[in-house]
Amino acid sequence: MSFRKDFVWGAATASYQIEGAWNEDGKGLNIWDEFCSQQGKIENKATGNVACDHYHRFKDDVKLMAEIGLKSYRFSISWARLLPDGTGKINQKGIDFYNNLIDELLKYNITPFVTIYHWDLPYALHLQGGWLNPKSADWFAEYTEVIAKNFGDRVKNFITFNEPSVFMGCGYWMGSHAPGYRLGDRELLQIGHNIHMAQGKAVSVLRKEVPDAKVGITLATQPKIPINGATEQDAYNSYFSVGLGGYFWSVNYWLDPIVFGEYPKELLEQAGEMFPKYTKEDMKIINQKIDFMGLNIYEAQYEGNYERPQGTAHTELSWDVYPDALKWGVILNYKRYKLPIYITENGLSTHDWVSLDGKVHDPNRIDFLHRYIKGLKEGAEAGADVRGYFQWSLMDNFEWAKGYNPRFGMIYVNYQTQERILKDSAYWYKDLINTNGENL
């Protein structure tokens, strides 16, 4: 059995991780430009200043997408490339770049999926408090309107935020990502509420400006896999339990207010007076209908009496391998939210290099993808409404605080010469797309 006939097979990237051209053609600074300039923040003193130079090489990159046979490409837009100060004056050269990219994709019949925010807040807005400032919701709505008005005639699929849990958790709690803060719950809860308000206002803008738009949000998650007698309900109850400790990592901290119009009661009770004040009108703004949910899944957790043995399979980033992660991710989330699901990221970081034959052989990635996507198929067969899968990543790129050592791509990038080489996994993925997953 194959996936549904209109299944979307794609790959994903993010603006800061591939574009480069950090200060060209009127682009403003963002928080990652600033963070990477600080001593000791990024491994090997790496920056995204050049990255994969996609800004100058996008036509060749789109041609490679077509060679792989991608049906869709998920990419993010650099806020500071469109609005150098975050609000106000629009940078026409930034608009031109994304217009050219979108037109190039459509030339090859590759459907664009636009992520509006993938972590690169304009530095000018950071100086005004960034996501701590309640005005951030209106800043984001203005930015979304610029995107909708300039690209909405050709782009119909929008993802508002990529992994708010991660840019909150790593950027504002752990301090390992930009802007490098280590805040307490009172401030983090305010940031979370501001992001929720930004989400609702952005969806309203998209509905107004692009009436036929399909809008969703992408969340990072580690699903619970029932094992050793634990039931699906046990996994469900544990997975969707959210209290004050680490609430921002939870799917339902983000999706319950969007889908059901209310924050999780358990969290409200535990947070007490620390939770930001909000009104019924605020919740109406947040509770805007979305068309799908995106899930970024790499790891999982076991529900049941189980201890991971020493020597368990793990990736170059030391993330453990869970072949049933996608299966349970879609089963549990569809059970709760009844929304169509896209896997908006899934992939493997490995130590890839060019072999003596001039090719890049990555059998571990092929095996990893085979196992995970087979599990995704089982989740779809169990009744989850799974609409598409985007591999992370199209090409090797700047992996945030880890710099350029982890390689996630189907396309190998030589960062000194900017040469691209299709890895074995790219050809495997091409065959998977051609057969619509029938041979998994």
pLDDT of residue 1: 65
**Alpha carbon distance 123, 114 (integer Å):** 22
Q: What is the mean pLDDT of residues 356-365?
A: 98
Query: Which pair of structure tokens corresponds to residue 103?
Result: 């037109």
Q: Of residues 104, 163, 303, 399, which has the active-site annotation?
A: 163
**Alpha carbon distance 407, 413 (integer Å):** 9
**Active-site annotation holds for 345:** yes
Measured in degrees and rounded to the nearest 5, phi and psi for residue 249 equal: -80, -10
**Are the beta carbons of 42 and 403 closer than 8 angstroms?**
yes
Amino acid (one-letter) located at 221: T
Residue percentage of the chain with pLDDT more than 70: 100
pLDDT above 80: residue 2: no
pLDDT digits (tens, 9 = 90+) for 76-132: 999 999 999 999 999 999 999 999 999 999 999 999 999 999 999 999 999 999 999
**Are the beta carbons of 102 and 151 closer than 8 angstroms?**
yes
Find the angle CA(203)-CA(14)-CA(187) to the nearest 5 degrees.
60
pLDDT digits (tens, 9 = 90+) for 279-296: 999 999 999 999 999 999
The C-alpha R_g of the chain, in whole angstroms, comes to 21
Query: Which pair of structure tokens corresponds to residue 102?
Result: 């979108």
Q: Of residues 345, 399, 419, 438, which has the active-site annotation?
A: 345
pLDDT above 70: residue 260: yes
**Are the beta carbons of 272 and 293 closer than 8 angstroms?**
no
Query: Which pair of structure tokens corresponds to residue 317?
Result: 């980033």
pLDDT digits (tens, 9 = 90+) for 136-148: 999 999 999 999 9
Amino acid (one-letter) located at 423: K
Find the angle CA(390)-CA(391)-CA(395) to the nearest 5 degrees.
125
pLDDT digits (tens, 9 = 90+) for 18-27: 999 999 999 9
- The gap between the terminal CA atoms of the chain, to the nearest Å, is 9
pLDDT digits (tens, 9 = 90+) for 332-349: 999 999 999 999 999 999
